[in-house]
């Protein structure tokens, strides 16, 4: 339960915290009771904000309480959509003294911020009375105890206000108004005084996890013993907790602080305590692996992965400033494993396009997701085929999506599988195979993927061999087929990696000889990658897996006796191009980067259609496509990048055959933009050779920060700018020196960061460099235009701004005389003058005049300073008349008014019986008054305090006489007061009791005595004074006498007595202490053989014999404690000797 503090916050404090007025309701200062709960509430208006405000609870200057949320500190946040008001609550569960101190609440948005402060004071709960242990020694004896006097004011403080009137009537309080005022003052919180500590613990300490912290106090007594408690439990010294005591200083060192050490600590010295609270800060969770950008097509799975610095950290996922959560459709799934966290989108749609953020308490990362409609790419198209009868024809194509199905058509008619026609779909490859080709199979074949406006076509050519009658002497002839792969009569284009089979029909009689050559080299191999297959009337040239080196001119020559024929073919091998080279970043912007590269050295034999670009963040393994359409230029501007993050780029070249391998990665680069231009550039002052400029920082600074400013100038009409400062200027102002007098100059200022210079900020017009004569003028603050009043001992610091050029001469006078520099400090600058008095005295009062002078021009202003203090007491207070229940008072004004006017007087009365003062009048302006409603039969005194603006006088003026309100017709005759004689001779009120004690244990005997003067106490054993024997400890606590016998032995048995003596007499009590020994049976009895031998010869009585046994046993036990067990055994053996028995 928290008590609201009624003390209003000053207007100055409110103005200091209201930066932008975001708070609708601020937390208030409170006085709390230890062990109770407290709740602080703050409301923030977000109607004018673009984003959700962020609120922090801080203790002291910098301790963020958000990381301390738990059982002790609880935070709550609610939002009202109708009023757009955020409500924040901080609850402190079971307040401890360590929670006392100053707190601050900060609300911030992107463009606004606001803060407020409040104080928490903790009062200790009332502790119950301690139980007196000595009461347990008293016998249960009924005795009438005197009634304790009841403190009426303590009773009123704990009572309900509705019971005040009943209590006042019961105890005879008639002045209810004065009673209420006194109660109000008694309930004011007074700081508790501590006599044991010179320096206490601070209210709170903060330490990082795994670090060391030292708690230190200083005590009054250098020999005092301290206890350290943690959450109420005493701390034992160990390697983790180290206690140190050096002189008056006591320290507790906690090594390797963990979260378990976040607790409340106490230092106890006797009954005095001091408290503190230790906050263990966990290191902020940072992001070690940033989010990657994703570029996917509709339906693909997206996994945003991030890695943080701590396991089990709490993260928050957001998309475009909207927090993501598990919804009913399970669109988003969140997964974490140790330090790794994932955001999973099973099937991406166009609605998922956006920027995804992840937040921790110490880091932030974001990644872009772009989703494209599905576009089917043809990785390998079908090719024309030329086959002969009974051979196999196979059309094959490859597309980008494995799930895409399609249909095959021949001359527009769908092809269905049969025994001879087979259709296959394996992954991304689609095949149409025709076995035992027949002439009717020739035609145009087309593959159309399902769901796409795309078709792939090829032609099947049937090679029919006709056997004609040829004369026997027919010269050879080569019949080349110009269809199929031949783009001209002598050129054949082959894609690298594909198979080339060239079937050349040959005629001639007799059968000609065939020779294939590449250049000047004959090809004779019949096996291998390049081979020649000769059949009747047909020569086949085969290249398996065509390579770039296979490109060239090939010659086929056929000869027979009738002649020869020759044909030349050019085989061209086309391939994907080489990767682009020299990829580098030429320039960067805030979120852009310009990339250039060189075309590939080999284009693959086909023209370059364009380029594809990819980027990735440094350290990531995921590449993101930047374009789907081919980019034809060798310069590309990448956009939508994150400022301050390192990126790498790579480029692919594309021709008609396919996509090249990726280029080498570019060097890492970081998008950083120069700042915007400085704002509000203006001229602050102009001299004969100087010009002072002022400006504000740029509106946009960015991740590159701000290193400083560059100032340049040039003459009007000139284009050559001259730099004014060699080093960067960090301040928002600069004075350019060495300028030509009378010239018109232009100035500009540019901000500088790692990205370079910002755009310049220019003055709207040129500045003439010439000193301007300005009349001196004092700008006296408004509060100094009236009499300036301060109290004695306060500091006076008056800052008087002025203007004038050149610099005016400022002089101060007091009452027409120069100011004494030993009493009043004066400091002058170019724009103001300061009058300073460290500790004001009444002699500093007077009229101070400030005079400014520039040549023959001057200005002056006066300030009346009045130093005041509390007035003296009124004088000559007297009772002028008493009638009925009334008394008339008069007095004179005080001799010392405190250097100001008396604003009134406060009159109080007191009954002479109780001498309790009650206020009758406050702010009484006259020097006389009438006090009414006095009680019949009472005698009253009166006192009067004078009052001015500093408050009431320290001492009152007391009336010389008294006012007696006598009963009508009766004369009051007071009897002489007789003081009661409190002296008496000593008398024991509680006697000593007999004790039975076991040997080896400590005991105490107790009695109580009274007497005045305080009697002298003498303890005796067997009528012998004990004295300063260290075995006995004698105590006297408010008449309760205790004699402690430490580790009693058989020698301590006997009669103890206590004697009390003073000058009026003496008294004595006594008791008997009987010692009981621990007996061992075989030691206490003689040996049976020795008993039979002695028979009746034992002359010693049984009691004497038993006493000897006991003495031997006690000696043996004592000897064992002092020596080792071997000697103890020897002593036990002596106990069995006959002579000892």
- How far the first Cα of the chain sits from its last, in Å, is 78
Is 156 among the domain residues?
yes
- pLDDT of 133 reads 43
Is 382 among the domain residues?
no
Which of 527, 552, 574 is the last residue before a domain boundary?
574
The reply to whether 485 and 556 lie within a common domain is: yes
What is the extent of the structural domain holding 171? 151-191
Please provide the size of the chain in residues: 1141
Q: CA-CA distance, 211 to 205, in Å (whole number)?
A: 13
The reply to whether 428 and 324 lie within a common domain is: no
The reply to whether 894 and 927 lie within a common domain is: yes
Is 669 among the domain residues?
no
Residue with tokens 């269905």: 416
Q: Given the DSSP bridges, would you call strands 691-696 and 679-686 parallel, antiparallel or unpaired?
A: antiparallel
Which CATH number goes with the domain that contains 240? 2.60.40.10
Q: In this structure, are residues 338 and 390 in contact, taking their beta carbons and an 8 Å threshold?
A: no
Closest CA to 13 of 104, 112, 111: 104
The reply to whether 16 and 113 lie within a common domain is: yes
Which of 738, 768, 798 is the last residue before a domain boundary?
768
- pLDDT of 1076 reads 67
Sheet holding 552-560, edge to edge: 491-495, 563-574, 552-560, 513-518, 521-523
Is 319 among the domain residues?
yes
Q: CA-CA distance, 624 to 639, in Å (whole number)?
A: 12
**Number of compact structural domains in the chain:** 12
Which of 172, 191, 210 is the last residue before a domain boundary?
191
Closest CA to 87 of 138, 44, 139, 30: 44
Is 377 among the domain residues?
no
Structure tokens at 1110: 């006991």
The per-residue DSSP string of 929-953 comes to EEE--PPTT-EEEEEEEEEETTEE-
Q: In this structure, are residues 622 and 294 in contact, taking their beta carbons and an 8 Å threshold?
A: yes
Is 816 among the domain residues?
yes
**Backbone torsions φ then ψ of 14, nearest 5 degrees:** -65, -40
Q: Give the three-class secondary structure for 741.
A: coil
The reply to whether 756 and 820 lie within a common domain is: no
- pLDDT of 472 reads 58
The reply to whether 16 and 111 lie within a common domain is: yes
- pLDDT of 1116 reads 45
Residue with tokens 């009124």: 874
The reply to whether 78 and 9 lie within a common domain is: yes
Is 660 among the domain residues?
no
- pLDDT of 869 reads 93
The CA-CA-CA angle for residues 487, 492, 495, to 5°, reads 105
Q: CA-CA distance, 1076 to 370, in Å (whole number)?
A: 96
Which mean pLDDT values do the consecutive 10-residue runs of the chain (1141 residues) have?
37 38 86 88 84 84 76 86 87 86 85 83 64 45 52 79 82 76 66 71 87 91 90 90 90 90 90 88 84 84 89 85 75 87 88 89 86 80 83 89 88 88 91 89 88 80 62 71 53 80 80 83 81 81 83 85 82 87 88 91 87 89 85 90 88 88 91 88 88 92 86 91 92 92 92 88 89 86 91 93 88 92 90 92 93 90 93 93 92 92 94 92 93 90 94 92 79 74 91 86 92 92 87 90 89 90 92 63 37 40 44 45 44 42 31
The reply to whether 838 and 951 lie within a common domain is: no
The reply to whether 1067 and 1101 lie within a common domain is: no
For CA atoms 202, 205, 210, 211, the dihedral sign is negative
Structure tokens at 492: 């054949």
Is 971 among the domain residues?
no
The reply to whether 861 and 888 lie within a common domain is: no
The reply to whether 8 and 59 lie within a common domain is: yes
The reply to whether 480 and 563 lie within a common domain is: yes
């Amino acid at each position: 339960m928290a008590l609201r503090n009624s003390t209003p916050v000053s207007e100055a404090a409110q103005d200091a915290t209201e930066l932008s007025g975001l708070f609708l309701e601020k937390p208030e200062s409170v006085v709390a009771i230890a062990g109770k709960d407290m709740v602080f509430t703050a409301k923030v208006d977000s109607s004018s904000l673009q984003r959700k405000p962020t609120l922090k609870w801080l203790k002291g200057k910098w301790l963020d309480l958000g990381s301390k949320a738990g059982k002790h500190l609880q935070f709550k946040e609610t939002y009202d959509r109708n009023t757009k008001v955020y409500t924040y609550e901080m609850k402190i569960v079971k307040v401890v003294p360590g929670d006392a101190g100053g707190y601050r609440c900060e609300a911030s948005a992107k463009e606004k911020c606001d803060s407020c402060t409040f104080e928490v004071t903790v009062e200790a709960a009332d502790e119950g009375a301690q139980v007196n242990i000595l009461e347990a020694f008293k016998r249960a004896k009924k005795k009438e105890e005197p009634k304790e006097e009841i403190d009426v004011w303590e009773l009123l403080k704990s009572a309900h206000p509705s019971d005040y009137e009943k209590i006042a009537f019961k105890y005879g309080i008639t002045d209810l108004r004065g009673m209420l005022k006194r109660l109000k003052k008694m309930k004011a919180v007074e700081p508790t005084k501590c006599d044991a500590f010179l320096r206490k613990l601070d209210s709170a300490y903060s330490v990082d996890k795994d670090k060391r912290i030292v708690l230190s106090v200083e005590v009054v007594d250098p020999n005092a013993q301290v206890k350290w408690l943690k959450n109420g439990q005493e701390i034992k010294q160990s390697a983790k907790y180290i206690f140190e005591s050096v002189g008056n200083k006591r320290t507790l060192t906690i090594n390797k602080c963990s979260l378990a050490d976040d607790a409340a600590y106490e230092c106890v010295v006797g009954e005095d305590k001091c408290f503190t609270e230790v906050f263990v800060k966990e290191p902020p969770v940072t992001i070690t692996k940033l989010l990657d950008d994703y570029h996917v097509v509709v339906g693909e799975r997206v996994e945003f992965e991030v890695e943080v610095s701590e396991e089990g950290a709490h993260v928050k996922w957001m998309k475009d400033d909207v927090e993501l959560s598990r919804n009913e459709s399970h669109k988003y799934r969140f997964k974490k494993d140790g330090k790794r966290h994932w955001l999973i989108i099973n099937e991406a749609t166009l609605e998922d396009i956006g920027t995804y953020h992840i937040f921790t308490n110490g880091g932030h990362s974001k990644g872009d997701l772009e989703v494209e409609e599905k576009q089917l790419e043809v990785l390998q198209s079908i090719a024309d085929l030329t086959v002969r009868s009974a051979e196999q024809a196979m059309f094959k194509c490859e597309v980008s999506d494995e799930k895409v199905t399609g249909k095959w058509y021949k001359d527009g008619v769908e092809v269905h599988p049969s025994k001879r026609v087979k259709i296959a779909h394996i992954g991304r490859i689609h095949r149409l195979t025709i076995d035992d080709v027949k002439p009717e199979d020739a035609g145009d074949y087309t593959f159309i993927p399902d769901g796409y406006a795309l078709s792939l076509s090829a032609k099947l050519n049937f090679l029919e061999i006709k056997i004609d009658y040829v004369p026997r002497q027919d010269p050879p002839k080569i019949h080349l087929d110009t269809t199929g792969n031949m783009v001209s009569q002598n050129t054949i284009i082959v894609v690298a990696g594909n198979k080339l089979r060239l079937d050349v029909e040959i005629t001639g009689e007799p059968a000609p000889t065939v020779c294939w050559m590449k250049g000047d080299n004959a090809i004779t191999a019949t096996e291998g990658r390049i081979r020649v297959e000769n059949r009747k009337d047909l020569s086949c040239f085969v290249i398996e897996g065509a390579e770039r080196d296979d490109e060239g001119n090939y010659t086929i020559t056929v000869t027979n006796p009738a002649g020869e024929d020759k044909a030349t073919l050019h085989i061209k091998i086309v391939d994907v191009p080489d990767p682009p080279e020299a990829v580098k970043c030429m320039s960067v912007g805030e979120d852009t980067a310009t990339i250039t590269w060189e075309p590939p050295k080999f284009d693959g034999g086909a023209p370059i259609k364009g380029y594809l670009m990819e980027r990735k963040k440094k350290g990531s393994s995921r590449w993101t496509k930047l374009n789907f359409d081919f980019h034809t230029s060798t310069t590309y501007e990448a956009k939508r990048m994150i400022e301050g993050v390192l990126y790498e780029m790579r480029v692919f070249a594309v021709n008609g055959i396919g996509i090249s391998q990726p280029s080498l990665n570019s060097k890492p680069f970081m998008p950083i933009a120069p700042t915007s231009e400085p704002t509000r550039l203006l001229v602050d002052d102009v001299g004969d050779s100087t010009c002072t400029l002022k400006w504000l920082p740029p509106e946009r600074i960015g991740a590159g920060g701000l290193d400083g400013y560059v100032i340049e100038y040039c003459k009007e009409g000139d284009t050559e700018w001259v730099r004014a400062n060699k080093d960067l200027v960090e301040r928002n102002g600069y004075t350019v020196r060495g300028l030509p007098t009378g010239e018109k100059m232009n100035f500009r200022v540019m901000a500088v960061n790692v990205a370079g210079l910002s755009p310049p900020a220019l003055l709207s017009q040129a500045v003439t460099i010439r000193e301007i004569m300005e009349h001196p003028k004092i700008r006296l603050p408004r509060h100094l235009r009236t009499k300036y009043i301060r109290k004695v001992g306060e500091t006076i610091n008056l800052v008087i701004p002025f203007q004038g050029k050149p610099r005016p001469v400022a002089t101060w006078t007091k009452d027409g005389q120069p100011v004494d520099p030993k009493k009043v400090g004066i400091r002058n600058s170019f724009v103001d003058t300061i009058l300073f008095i460290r500790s004001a005295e009444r002699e500093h009062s007077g009229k101070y005049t400030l005079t400014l002078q520039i040549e023959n021009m001057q200005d002056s202003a006066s300030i009346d300073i009045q130093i005041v203090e509390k007035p003296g007491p009124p004088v000559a207070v007297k009772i002028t008349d008493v009638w009925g229940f009334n008394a008339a008072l008069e007095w004179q004004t005080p001799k010392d008014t405190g250097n100001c006017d008396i604003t009134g007087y406060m009159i109080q009365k007191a009954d002479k019986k109780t001498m309790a003062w009650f206020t009758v009048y406050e702010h009484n302006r006259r020097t006389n008054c009438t006090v009414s409603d006095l009680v019949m039969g009472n005698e009253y005194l009166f006192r009067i305090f004078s009052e001015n603006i500093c408050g009431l006088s320290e001492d009152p003026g007391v009336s010389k006489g008294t006012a007696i309100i006598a009963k009508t017709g009766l004369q009051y005759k007071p009897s002489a007061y007789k003081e009661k004689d409190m002296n008496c001779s000593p008398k024991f009120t509680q006697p000593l009791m007999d004790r039975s004690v076991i040997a080896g244990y400590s005991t105490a005997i107790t009695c109580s005595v009274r007497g005045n003067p305080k009697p002298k106490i003498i303890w005796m054993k067997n009528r012998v004074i004990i004295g300063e024997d260290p075995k006995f400890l004698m105590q006297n606590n408010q008449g309760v006498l205790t004699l402690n016998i430490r580790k009693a032995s058989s020698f301590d048995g006997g009669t103890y007595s206590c004697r009390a003596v003073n000058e009026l007499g003496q008294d004595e009590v006594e008791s008997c202490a009987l010692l009981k020994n621990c007996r061992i049976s075989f030691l206490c009895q003689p040996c049976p053989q020795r008993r039979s031998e002695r028979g009746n010869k034992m002359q010693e009585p049984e009691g004497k014999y038993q006493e000897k046994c006991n003495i031997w046993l006690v000696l043996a036990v004592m000897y064992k404690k002092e020596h080792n067990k071997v000697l103890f055994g020897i002593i036990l053996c002596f106990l069995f000797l006959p002579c000892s028995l």
